[in-house]
Amino acid sequence: MVERIEQIEAEAKAAIEAASSATDIEEARVRYLGRKAELTGILRGISDLPPEQRGPVGSTGNKVRKALEGLIEAKVDSIRHAELEKSLAGDRIDVTLPGSPARRVGHLHPITRTRRMIEDVMVGLGYQVMEGPEVEHDYYNFTALNHPEGHPARMLQDTFYVEDEQHVEQVLLRTHTSPMQVRAMEAAPPPLFMIVPGKTYRRDSDATHSPMFHQVEGLAVGEGITLADLKGTLLAMLREIFGPDREIRMRPHFFPFTEPSVEFDVSCFRCGGSGSLDDGSRCGLCKGIGWIELGGAGMVDPNVFGFVADSGYDPDSVTGFAFGFGVERIAMLRHGVGDLRLFFDNDMRMLEQFS
Amino acid sequence: MRVPYGWMADYCDPGLLPRDLAERMAMTGTEVERVVTLGPPSAEGFVIGKVLDVVKHPDADRLNVCQVDTGDAGSADGGRTIVCGAPNVAAGQTVVVALPGAVMPGGMKIKQAKLRGVESNGMICSDRELELGEDHNGILVLEDGPAAGTPAAGVLPLAEPVLELEVTPNRTDCFGIYGVAREAHAISGAPLAPAPWDGGPIGPGVGSESGDLERLGDPAGAVKTADRARVLVRDEELCPRFTARGYAEVKVGPSPRWLRSRLIAAGMRPISNVVDITNYVMWLTGQPMHAYDLDLVPEGELVIRRAENGEKVAALDGNDYELTDRMVAVADRNGLAGIGGMMGGSVSEVSDSTTTVLMEAANWNGPNILRTSRDLGLRSEASSRFEKQLHPDLTLRAQAVAARLMVEVCGATPMTGIVDIAAPVPAAEPIWLRAGRVERILGLAIDTDRQARALEMLGFGVQRDGKDLLVSVPPDRHYDVTREIDLVEEVGRISDLDRNLPATLPSGPGRPGGLSRQQVLQRRAEDSLRESGFDEMVGWSFTDPNEKDRLRLDPEDPRAGAVRLANPLSEEQSLMRTTLLGSVLGAAQRNLSRGADRVALFESGRVYLPAAAFGPGPLGGDFPGNTRPPFNEPQHLCGLAVGSVDPSTWRGEASGADFFALKGVLEHLAGSLGTAVSVERIPGAPTQPFLHPGKSGVVRVDERPIGWIGEIHPLVAAEYDLDCAVAFEIALADLLQASPVGEEAYRDFTPFPPVDRDLAVLVAEEMPASSVLAAVRDSGGELLASVSVFDVYSGEGVGEGEKSLALRLRFRAPDRTLSDEEIEPIWSGIIAALEEIGGKLRG
């Protein structure tokens, strides 16, 4: 009898193994485990067996029954999965079609992006970011920056004045972000490390001059600050903006509110400062010079400290440097924008090129 | 300032290629805009020729066949054959020949060529062809002297390099050739000749014993200047010094070639020898001059005084100028004879018939000249120097050089003495340059000897006192170098700073850098609009006075314009904007006209309003500093959408942006700052004239109004060629103030489940949903966790003039699961509150 059970087991296993559909497996289940199945009959008739056979037959029969139940269950699962896979494989989409955007993607203006980048670099060097008024008193834009009344340097920056019957020529659109040097020093004693990004205005308009443009001013005042520190600071900033291999060049210049004054250039990032490209042609970016002019800087003139002496700025105990440069210029260089006026035209075909 | 290299080399030849000199000058503080070459690109192939013979060309009336000795093999046998079309060519002339191979200005290369059958072996040149002058009536004919075959460059400034300097306004000394030569000396170390007023050379045609005052001061038996000219200075503040010298027997005529060539190279037009001398002296010394025909000055009397308002003067440029009493004039007995420091008058202009000349070298008040120049809209070479404030002592230098030239060039007899009316000038005190000062400022040690040497080469007087230096300043640096720090700069700029200065970082601010809270949140706000699909734009701060009409603003509205420019570039840019809306509408219009099918733009920028309330913070217009800004400049955010905000895709067409789409953007913006805005229609409050009155509202945060949102009024939209647009504008600082970002306090949340209940209420059509929600909230008590509208319905089943709002209410207690019995009384209270505002519960 035990042998018969083992025979049944072998047959059933083969049948289960061979089943390839839900129907096949159900047939196998009915045939080998159903009410009319032989194994079921054997187990049902155990009590009719001689006592010495009841034990072995019962235990073998139940073991086989359990094993077959497990096999059938596993087979059912496997057949279901296969059928699911089959139906999924037929349920196709074209994955190459564009996704449905959560929202349209907008873009920040290249001036904003450039300004933020500069801010982040300078914040990393320990600077605060400050804002100041664009419509400003003459005092802050000129007088306190050591441009006395009638100083020819006032002519260097063609100024927009505000119509104001009470104060003729006393209110103007700031021609640089430098007025905030004085405001910031009035507001806080040294040490002071700050930058001022913002709009500035000059009465000038062509492809390279816009009557409105953006500058970033920098000011560092404390004990023992030198022109060499200015050079190091500008170099660190320019390398963040234009790449780690950049060099800086400072050319003596004149600004009324710094002494000594310099203009600073960065080595050309297209030709590496050589002035010529790999094919031997002249570099168009730096015009073959190897350097790109960026801005003005210098050591804060003691006369400027004189205007903020009450806030603790004594030229015998502190020195400082200041610098300024154009945001558009950096953006034009970094992104290859050829015409300054494009920044204020706001054509979306331009704006959407900058993410 | 144009500096012909050869002229500068009279005083200092630095022995550098012009472009290398330019580079060195740029690195020491004098920008060289460019180096140009006058005339042919190279002097190669240009030689002196002697015209031996001229015969008519057999086949051309206007051409001559010349035989020219050019001192070379090509002209050995009876001369070189050159065909020449000039009418003035004649045998015996000394001319300039361009030999085959020479390159003319503009790049044309001279070749052997047959002209109507006659072989021509070169070209005889005119002034104009060599860019030496404007004369093109014929060939250039030189005085006899140079031998045939002499390189022409030895005689004429061919291929003359000219440095175009961009002189900074403090460096008045570099507005004269001699000052530039001294700079070249300091840069290169090459020797410097004495100054032209101090025994140095004056020009190629002028004897070397120069224009020193002592020699020419008192020719025996001559007339005295003071006998012929009387000068009164009535305003010493405006005219600190006036010097004048008379000349008799002046022969007015064209200047000699060398003088004309130098003026042309310097960019000036030769006029006559006397006028040319004034210009030459100015270019050489930096001190402008003016020449009067003394016979045309009644009684020789000149008065320097303030002009009267409305007084007119006919100036040398042919224009009449009307002066004011802020300007200084030179008057003769009959009226004005010039505008001080600006331009002479035509009344006593030097002409061909002039024989007696008064040479003026005066000093004027710089700021006053600057203002006069601006007020008159007139800028001359003289005024551009005087406005930077010259030193009064330069006047006598100019007189010394001019005297020599008047004698040599015009054959004039100088009158004895110079009329010199001078206000006292405080002597320049010597300045100490203390040991260690240079290093303290530059961060680079330069030893005392090198400091002293640098200053001496720049023309300063230096006395040593241990490691300190006592420095005296020459007159032409008087106004520029007044303090120790100025000496530091002088030492620094010629110490090859670029190469030697280390790059270090300052020891540090002592506190971390960073963005302010406002700045952090501003970025977040801008980023949120970007995330919502809006492109950021940057509009002009300027606007057009007509914008207020396009926006339908009342002329009395403060937004009709607060800041008006006195000198705008154009009327279209004469006001500062008071709203960003005009800029954004304009940009939308431009984009649509260029083919965009939808627009979603935002701007984060300032508006310019009357100075009233400032703040909060810099974004609200409250800037640091002792003096309030003259106007209020709060930062605004303005967004505008035309067409869809979300994109159309292959799955379906996007719907056009409407009020609610934009309100969603605004809510996203507030949400990204951790706060919320509400939009209300405040009864009785004025609506924005540029918005659709039925589809717009006030944006509020914490009950405070911060801006507006709505559909653009169709009349305004039409002004900008838009069909339908929705927009908002808010004051950024006010929104940021409500943001709790970074300051949120954690509140425990409950594990007990909420109970949700819905209701539908009928209310009057015009009842705002916010009032219904407020009634529910106010009556719901602490257990009402939230309430929201999930449907709005009007139409069938709802009465005329009514709408049905479906609300979802969520109740929750922190410490227990709520039972229906607990909710029931609250529910009744809510129903009662809704009935109180006229609501009827639906079925």
Q: What is the pLDDT of residues B750-793, one digit of tens each?
A: 889 999 999 999 999 889 999 999 999 999 999 999 999 999 99
Higher pLDDT pick, A352 / B559: A352
Do B709 and B678 touch, CB atoms closer than 8 A?
A: no
Confidence of residue B797 (pLDDT cuts 50, 70, 90): confident
- Give the 3-state secondary structure of residue B469: strand
Exposed / middle / buried, residue B443 (Cβ in 10 Å: 0-12, 13-18, 19+): buried
B369 and B452 in a single domain? The answer is: no
pLDDT exceeds cutoff 50 at B212: no
- Residues B361 and B450 grouped into a single domain: no
Residue with more model confidence, B85 or B830: B830
Q: What was the pLDDT predicted at B221?
A: 57
When pLDDT is averaged across residues B39-63 and rounded to a whole number, the result is 88
- B388/A123 touch (CB, cutoff 8 Å), yes or no: no
- Do the chains contact at A152 and B387, CB–CB below 8 Å? yes
Band (B189; pLDDT cuts 50, 70, 90): very high
Q: Has residue B107 got a pLDDT over 90?
A: no
Question: Read out DSSP for B626-678?
Answer: SS--SSB--EEEEEEEES-SSPPBTTBPPPPP-HHHHHHHHHHHHHHTT---E
Mean pLDDT of chain B: 91
Question: Does the CB of B576 have a partner CB in chain A at under 8 Å?
Answer: yes
Mean pLDDT of B457-464: 95
CA distance A72 to chain B (A): 43
CB–CB contacts below 8 A, A to B: 299
How many angstroms separate the CA atoms of B403 and B212, rounded? 9
pLDDT(A109) > 50:
yes
Which residue ranges make up each domain of chain A? 2-90, 110-351
Q: How far is B244 from chain A (nearest CA, A)?
A: 27
Q: Which residue has the higher pLDDT, B151 or A324?
A: A324
Together in a domain, B672 and B814:
no
Chain B residues lying within 8 Å of A345, measured CB to CB: 590
Residue B683: pLDDT above 80? no
User: Is the peptide bond preceding residue B754 cis, with omega within 30 degrees of 0?
Assistant: no
Whether residues B124 and B222 fall in one domain: no
Is B658's pLDDT higher than 80?
A: yes
Confidence category of residue B643, pLDDT binned at 50, 70, 90: confident
> Is pLDDT at B693 greater than 70 in this prediction?
yes
Half-sphere exposure of A183 (CA within 13 A, CB side): 28
Mean pLDDT of A116-131: 96
For a pLDDT cut of 90, what percent of chain B falls above it?
Answer: 69
- Same domain flag for B557 and B610: yes
Please state the ipTM of this predicted complex. 0.86
Q: What is the pLDDT of residue B685?
A: 67
End residue of a domain, out of B457, B472, B499: B499
Q: Which residues pair with A198 in a beta bridge?
A: A215
Q: Which residue of B has its CA nearest to A172?
A: B565
Position B525 in a domain: yes
pLDDT of residue B210: 45
Question: Does B442 contact A at CB distance below 8 Å?
Answer: yes
Measured CA angle at B132 (ends B128, B133), to 5 deg? 60
Residues of B with Cβ-Cβ distance to A186 under 8 angstroms? 624-626
**Which among B225, B231, B70 has a CA at the least distance from the CA of B150?**
B70
* pLDDT recorded at residue B636: 97
Residue A160 makes CB contacts below 8 A (sequence gap 6+) with A172, A173, A201, A202, A203, A211, B565, B566, B567, B568
Indicate whether B744 belongs to any domain: no
Burial class for B145, CB neighbours closer than 10 Å (0-12, 13-18, 19+): exposed
Band (B843; pLDDT cuts 50, 70, 90): low
Whether B279 is covered by a domain: the verdict is yes
CA-based nearest residue to B578, from B601, B600, B548: B548
The helix/strand/coil state of B117 is coil
Judge whether residue B214 has pLDDT over 70. Answer: no
Which residue from B minimizes the CA distance to A119? B515
Q: Do A235 and B649 touch (CB under 8 A)?
A: no
Under the banding of pLDDT at 50, 70 and 90, the label for residue B211 is very low
Is B507 part of any domain? no
Q: Are residues B327 and B234 in the same domain?
A: yes
Q: Which of B374, B400, B422 is the last residue of a domain?
A: B422
Alpha carbon distance B818, B813 (integer Å): 7
Banded pLDDT at B694 (limits 50, 70, 90): confident
- CA nearest A115 in B: which residue? B523
For residues B62 and B132, membership in a common domain is answered with yes
Question: Residue A134's closest CA among B545, B562, B570?
Answer: B562
Tell me the shortest Cα–Cα distance from A278 to chain B, in angstroms: 24
In terms of CA atoms, which chain B residue is nearest residue A159? B567
- pLDDT, position B839: 92
Same domain, B152 and B178: no
Q: Which residue has the higher pLDDT, B742 or B222?
A: B742
**Domain boundaries, position B31:** 10-38+163-188
Distance, in angstroms, between A334 CA and closest chain B CA?
18
Within the 129-188 window of chain B, which residues sit less than 8 Å (CB to CB) from chain A?
Answer: 168-171
pLDDT at A334 over 80: yes
Residue B109 pLDDT exceeds 50? yes
Q: Does the structure show a pLDDT above 90 at B583?
A: yes
Closest listed residue to residue B381, CA positions, set B164, B163, B175, B132:
B175
Stretch A252-273: mean pLDDT, rounded? 93
Domain count, chain B: 6
Interface check B531 vs A, CB under 8 A? yes
pLDDT, one tens digit per residue, over A152-185 is: 667 666 899 998 766 666 899 999 999 999 999 9
The yes-or-no verdict on residue B286 having pLDDT over 90 is: yes
Chain A CB within 8 Å of residue B377 CB: no
CATH number for position B29: 3.30.56.10
Neighboring chain A residues of B444 at a CB cutoff of 8 Å: 226-228
Class of domain A110-351: alpha beta
The residues, ordered by sequence, that sit 6+ positions from B669 with a Cβ below 8 Å of its Cβ are: B525, B528, B529, B532, B637, B677, B735
Kindly state whether residues B403 and B468 are assigned to the same domain: no
Q: What is the pLDDT of residues B713-754, one digit of tens each?
A: 999 999 999 988 999 999 999 999 999 998 889 988 888 999
Task: Specify the DSSP class assigned to residue B615.
Answer: -
Chain A residues close to B168, C-beta within 8 Å: 253-254
Question: B116-120, B660-664, B666-670: which has the minimum mean pLDDT?
Answer: B116-120
Percentage with pLDDT > 70 across chain A:
97
Mean pLDDT of chain A: 91
| CA B235 to chain centroid | 33
- Alpha-carbon distance A269 to nearest alpha carbon in chain B (angstroms): 19
Q: Are strands B691-701 and B704-712 parallel, antiparallel or unpaired?
A: antiparallel
- Tell me: do B623 and B766 sit in the same domain: no
**Cβ-based neighbour number of residue B43 at 10 Å:** 19
| Residue range A121-140: mean pLDDT, rounded | 95
B19, B27, B170: best mutation site toward chain A, by most A Cβ within 10 Å? B170
Note the pLDDT tens digit of each residue in B247-272.
Answer: 999 999 999 888 988 998 999 989 99
Say how far apart CA A204 and CA A352 lie, in whole Å.
Answer: 28
Asked whether residue A93 carries a pLDDT value surpassing 90, the answer given is no
CATH of the domain at B405: 3.50.40.10
> Is there a single domain that holds both residue B544 and residue B670?
yes
For residues B629 and B642, state if they share a domain.
yes
Dist. CA B637–CA B730, nearest whole Å: 5
Contact (CB<8Å) A137/B629: yes
Domain containing residue B799: CATH number: 3.30.70.380
Please report, rounded to a whole number, the percentage of residues in chain B having pLDDT higher than 70. Answer: 98
So what's the pLDDT on residue B238? 96
Q: CB within 8 A of B739, min separation 6: which ones? A: B521, B673, B674, B675
Residues B592-617: what's their mean pLDDT? 92
